[in-house]
Structure 1
Amino acid sequence: MKTEFIRQISQGISLEKCNELYVIRVQHALGSALVALQGAQLLSWQPAAAQQDVLWLSEIEPFQKGNAIRGGVPICYPWFGSAKSPSHGTARIREWSLSHYEMDEEYAYLEFSLYDEQNIIEAKIEMAFNQECHLIFTHYAEQEAQAALHSYFNVADIQQTEVKGLPHECFDSLTKQFVQVPSPRKIHENVDCIYSAEQSINCIEDAANQRTIQIEHIDASDIVLWNPWHKATSSMSETGYQTMLCVETARINRKLQQGESFEVIFKLV
């Protein structure tokens, strides 16, 4: 994606702009990352040894202010789904603040905070990058909330991809029923399922890229598996579904109380 350099924040960390949105770029010997200030949304993470980005980002994303970004790791908060408007909450279309950053030889660290109109903190996300990507989300508002780290993973061919470590039962959000499903799971159609996070580690076997993405969910209650298949989806090309798969780390059925956190760690193995 094409960006315009704005200023250097520190060694290896810069502020840039992509169309209407400001982004933070991290360049480190161990890899690179890109985060939009809108939504504190991680858009890209590529370890130095990786030939492709671990995360998927729509090639037709317009990067317009106030529009949800299709790809990376959107933060769905303080609700999940479309029961209220906007779908998946307001956090992903609001501006966050870069509240802290660090970098040394072993890792890069960014912290983003979301404040309300009274300048009271509502939520925080911490991002640490080395050979793995570690995201920690913390809920600070008084009212309980749902949240999901809606990770879009980059695969070469969805029809040669499978997810290991998922349970055999899930809630199918399309039929509104609990269903029995195979595990490992391959994707051959529109899938939108919520699993219990009883197993904390999943692996995406990306056969066409000859790589495995390991995803560790920490203090999550749910794992969401999503691929829209041929269904028309905003800011996604007709063929976009062929190279992406969402495995989301979530607190949907067990809502976050004030001060609670949950985490995801993903890496190539």
Structure 2
Amino acid sequence: MRTIPGQWSFTRWTSVEQLEALDVRHPLFSARLFLQGAHLTHFAPTGHANWLWLSDSARFETGRAIRGGIPICWPWFGVPDRNPPDVRETIRTRSAHGFARNEVWQLEEVVEATDSVEISLSLLANDDFKDRWRGHASALLTFRFTRDACQIALTTTNLGQSALAFSQALHSYLPAAISDTVITGLDGASYTDTLKDWAQFRQQGDVTFPGEVDRIYQTGGEAITVHSGSQCLHLTSSGSCSAVIWNPGPDKARQLSDFSAQDWKSMVCVETANVLHDFRLLNSGQSHTLGVMITRSHVTKEHS
């Protein structure tokens, strides 16, 4: 049934340092979702550890992106200069990853059921952002939690009169013992290696992590699985033909904010995206939804 603030059974307001959040304490699962950035930092079935990785050094401050969880990179991904020309023309700042991850989103709806909780947040990107971005669009982000899955859907609607180009990513940080981690589902996919002058390669076998990895894969929509120890996290995307695989390695880790020198050993990012050639172009009034469903299993596999 639809509920309004004050009438929820499983969802409560909370605050962490300077930021306001929604805490979900359902009998079957728990979650924490911050209004700043529409940033999910915790999801776990009851009795289990967080399916997401969150830095012990994360800071919850106004205007500061949280290190870990699932940051929302929108309406552009990465540094402006590495975006396609159509996207680059909309950007009026040198900042990376857009502005959505630092803005306070509006709570639209909380829907609770005996087996699920759904939360929707929105961001209206209008003239208030004209110093950073040339566009007029709305973003609606819906989270659906159950005992078995965490689903996220980000819908962009072009509210302007002219066509709008944008790139984006659901920047998922996942727990992983990186020395014992492989990623399947990308064998044969072409990718751009940002550490090798943005050259093009083709994946041979599984993705492993001998050091820093920063790659943008062209995908066919197949599920990507992170195997780490006995845990397998499966990411099934929709509205996406690209994915980013990232681990900073020991040298880059020392340069990152809110990230300890050893954190690279315990995480990996698998980002559902619309980036590089997979950027999206919407005519006036059109919408596009980027989504991911995260599930988990403990089935071990042989890796190539």
Normalising by structure 2, report the TM-score. 0.81
1:84-123 to 2 correspondences below 5 Å: 84-116=93-125, 122-123=138-139
**Aligned pair count?**
259
1:173 counterpart = 2:233: no
Q: Does residue 155 of structure 2 align to residue 138 of structure 1?
A: yes
Which AA in structure 2 matches 1:265? M
Which residue number corresponds to residue 213 of structure 1? 233
> In the alignment, residue 99 of structure 1 is paired with which amino acid?
E
Amino acid at match of 2:70: V
Tell me what 2:273 maps to. 250
* Structure 1 stretches of 4+ moved >4 Å: 117-121
Contact in 1 for aligned 2:221/2:241 (Cα 8 Å): no
Give the unaligned 5+ runs of structure 1: 1-6
For residue 154 of structure 1, what is the aligned residue in structure 2?
A: 175
Partner of 1:34: 32
- Quote how far apart the aligned CAs of 1:218 are: 1.0
Deviation at 1:136, TM superposition (A): 0.5
Aligned partners of 2:232, 2:95: CA distance in 1, in Å?
34
Q: Which residue identity lines up with residue 8 of structure 2 in the other structure? A: S
**Equivalents in 1 of 2:76, 2:126: separation in Å?**
19
Deviations, residues 208-235 of structure 1 (Å, cap 9, x unaligned): xx21111101120201000001112111
Structure 1 residue identity aligned to 2:185: G
Secondary structure at the counterpart of residue 122 of structure 1: strand
Q: Is the 8 A contact 2:126 2:137 kept in 1?
A: no
Q: Secondary structure at the match of 2:144?
A: strand
- Match of 2:143? 127
Shift of 1:166: 1.0
Alpha-carbon distance between aligned partners in 2 of 1:241 and 1:72, rounded to the nearest angstrom: 14
Q: Partner of 1:139: helix, strand, or coil?
A: strand
Are the counterparts in 1 of residues 142 and 152 from structure 2 also a CA contact under 8 Å?
yes
Partners of 1:134 and 1:249 lie apart in 2 by 12
Give the alignment of 1:35-114 within 5 angstroms.
35-50=33-48, 52-83=49-80, 84-114=93-123
Of 75-84 and 249-258, deviating more is 249-258
Q: Considering fraction of residues, name the structure with more helix.
A: 2
- The Cα of 1:183 is off from its aligned counterpart by 2.4
* C-alpha distance in structure 1 between counterparts of 2:39 and 2:210, whole Å: 28
| Contact 1:31–1:47 (CA under 8 A) maintained in structure 2 | yes
The answer as to whether partners of 2:180 and 2:228 remain within 8 angstroms in 1 is yes
The letter of the residue matching 1:37 is L
C-alpha displacement at 1:199, in angstroms? 4.2
Give aligned-pair identity as a percent.
28
* Structure 2 unmatched runs, 5+: 81-92, 129-135, 298-304
- Cα gap change, 1:233 to 1:178, in 2 (>3 Å): same
TM-fit CA distance, 1:121: 6.0
CA shift for structure 1 position 188: 1.6
Residues 167 and 195 in structure 1, CA contact (< 8 A), matched pair in contact too = no
Superposition pairs for residues 194-233 of structure 1, below 5 Å?
194-207=216-229, 210-230=230-250, 231=252, 232-233=255-256
Q: Distance in 2 between matches of 1:268 and 1:48?
A: 14
TM-score after normalising by structure 1: 0.91
